[in-house]
Structure 1
Amino acid sequence: MYVIALLGNFAILFIVKKEPKLHEPMYYFLCMLAITDLVLSTTTLPKILANFWFNSREIDFSACLTQMYFVHCFADIESGIFAAMALDRYVAICHPLRHSTILTNSLVMKIGLVIVLRSSILILPHPILASQWPYCRSNIIPNTQCENMYVVKLACGDTRISSYYALFVLSCRLGLDVFFIILSYIQILRAIFSLPTKEARVKTFGTCSSHLCVILAFYIPILFASLSSRLGNNLPRYFNIFIADMYLLVPPTLNPVIYGVRTKQIREKLLQFFLLKELKFSPQVVALRPRSVGVLAGDIELLTGQSKII
């Protein structure tokens, strides 16, 4: 799953960079999501794999606080990106003629900057507070990464400030972001059901369904992980660890797969890239007789809609 996450997200970044037609707000947000998924998974998965493969179970306290910051910061950034993508879908479906004038490149950059600054500042107190507590209990974290509440539970002082602030951050993430996402999709669904033909409704709803699948794959595990770390004292430890790992691994793995399969433009460009590579390096293409080349050109035209590449 980690290899799929790396290859899939790098593929999306490569395709959007190479194809000028994809230099649009939707794909800019998708690139932001891919970068966030790469950082979110890479800050935890290599250490988890080292834990399982090489029994490397120790981590320096400063490295633990750094991992804590990056995990929570980029999880919050991903939440903000989902809200921004919901806004993009709302403008594209409800105001299609004004999409390019409303969501300009400068506005997209400003939205991305606000999301990064919000998350960076909002999560900063987590490691600062965690570094202040005295740790006189066990030094074993009952998890595969330095999640904030699992580290704070090891302290022997009054850690209510960390608990309350963690709830505040969670309410911002699951409150404001989810509220804007739900509000956007309510307007989107109203616009979909007002479309004149059934074919248009099905096509538009199919596009939005991929976005909803990605959003649910992110928020459901992170909600379970947050609740289990606070209220799941009676749950088996392996269940808490499994849920915590899933919200760090499943979204980065599913996002490029869902967008690669469901987004027609990315799917076509990826197919064209591999098809052209195959034609370029295949010796059989040079040896074909004229009639066979014509058949091959027709096949490529069916796959890509272009026959000029021959």
Structure 2
Amino acid sequence: MRELVQESWKYSLKKLTVSARKRQQKDDIHHYFEMLFSLESRFKDESLVKYGLKQLSSSIVKKSNWPIAEAYFLKCGYGFPNTLQVITQILATYHRYGYPLNMNALGAFSRNLLESAAAANHHSETAWLLWLCKELSIHLDAPLILQVLQMESSVCSLIALDLIHSDLVDGEVDLAALAGLPLTDQALKGNNWLLAYEGGRRLWLGNPDIAFIEADPCFAALLNADVSFYDQEARLPAIFQVKIEAAEAIDFDSDDEIDSDFEFDSMDEEYFDSAVTDTDAEDEEQGAAGAGKGNLAVDPEAPDDW
């Protein structure tokens, strides 16, 4: 029955269209989200909103209509935290194409949701919000980053430390918040081994050297082979990219149909299964840390003391 119900709202969403003409597109965006929220209210299925956002991402929003679409994206993020990965990818893509993002609103959005997500110990939501700040160079305050560092999440902590060393954190962060992670070879054998190894090898943990990594034969081998699980230069793949044969200068605010000049990210139907498992949430969290390169190379079946 759940599958039948899901097919019902998918069919309704697939019938919605967004015009390429600016004036009509403005009305279509309002109608699209009105229907999206109405369907979610009816079926009580959060994956419906995620699916709707992904479907809308296959149409290019014209620049003059961007403030309207952006406001709806933020509304979705506030109301449906499971959409944060899709929203982050959408915002990052339009940012790369020079769209006028409302950085004040995005800063408030990131800070407000980060505070609640970190307090609730929601690792996946926190990771994607931090990654949004990384993609858009949004500054965060030191107390908020300190709250993230106290979450006991290696992925969230690594992104937070990355923001600190990218000068995106205002104020001094006392790394004593990581006091539960003594910089010894024993730190590499616990649940926070990823943070100890990656943060340690980059000297992000306040450590003067990497002697504690070199003292462990397994991790010393990884270090010598230059193995890394976190890429500071990684960026999310764009939801659309200009085709090689497309015109050199594309007007993002004309009434012309420009979608044909782009290649769009394909929609993964299975990705939007409403039955989200704990493993799915962990995969999303790891995806943030390995954005642009696939998930972290961590074997979920590996023993805890690996």
Q: Same fold (TM over 0.5)?
A: no
Q: Report the TM-score, using the length of structure 2 for normalisation.
A: 0.29
Q: Which has the higher contact order (CA 8 A, sep 6+)?
A: 1
Question: TM (normalized to structure 1)?
Answer: 0.29
Greater Rg, structure 1 or structure 2? Answer: 1
Going by fraction, where is helix more abundant, 1 or 2? 1
